[in-house]
Amino acid sequence: TMPKVALIGRPNVGKSTLFNRLIRSNRAITHDMPGVTRDRMEGTVKRSGKVFTLIDTGGITLDSHSAVTEGPAGIRGFEAEILRQSKEAMEEADLLCFVVDGRDGLTPFDDHLANYLRKAGKPILLIVNKVDGEEKAELLMSDFHILGFQMLPCSAEHGFNLRALDEEILSFL
């Protein structure tokens, strides 16, 4: 069966924008505001004679957003919903692409999610998105070295480094 690659991360970091770029279509809804209705999406990526399934997580539905969801580690609300969707992806994916926002830097929830993802014992690639130009890469990545993941800067919106990202993903499969 086809290997699966999951995009995981808190809302608004650019997962769906990245998903659309990688599958070269516009199937996932992107939005400025976290918390709008978005479904979990799957797409197929074909590159260099390889094929994999890409999963866009973080479909935060209005229901799950407004409901008081009890999640792992006693975290409630939409963060619990992110953890729940991440858990699903962690179980089925062969590679976990942990997407963060380079302009925001490392947030406490990113840190929490990082520790959570480690428990899957699966390969993790840290994607530092919103690096809208090579000259900013070093500065915007500096916060994230501490996580100890293999990492790659990119800009889903402006296309920076996306070919390198393709190749990096394929190298895990």
Out of 86, 129, 140, 165, the residue judged to bind ligand GDP by CB under 6 A: 129
The per-residue DSSP string of 32-56 comes to SSTTS----EEEEEEETTEEEEEEE
Residue whose C-alpha is closest to residue 10's, from 92, 147, 114: 114
DSSP β-bridge partners for residue 97? 7, 125
By CB under 6 A, tell whether 153 contacts ligand GDP. no
Q: Which of the choices ligand GDP, Mg ion, none does residue 32 contact, using the CB cut-off of 5 to 8 A by kind?
A: ligand GDP
DSSP β-bridge partners for residue 47? 50
Matching residue, tokens 């995981």: 8
By CB under 6 A, tell whether 23 contacts ligand GDP. no
Out of 83, 156, 165, 169, the residue judged to bind ligand GDP by CB under 6 A: 156
By CB under 5 A, tell whether 86 contacts Mg ion. no
In the annotated binding site for GTP, the residues are 9-16, 56-60, 129-132
Q: Which residue is nearest to ligand GDP (CB)?
A: 14
Residue 168 phi, psi dihedral angles, 5° rounding: -65, -45
Site residues (vs Mg ion, CB under 5 A) = 15-16, 58
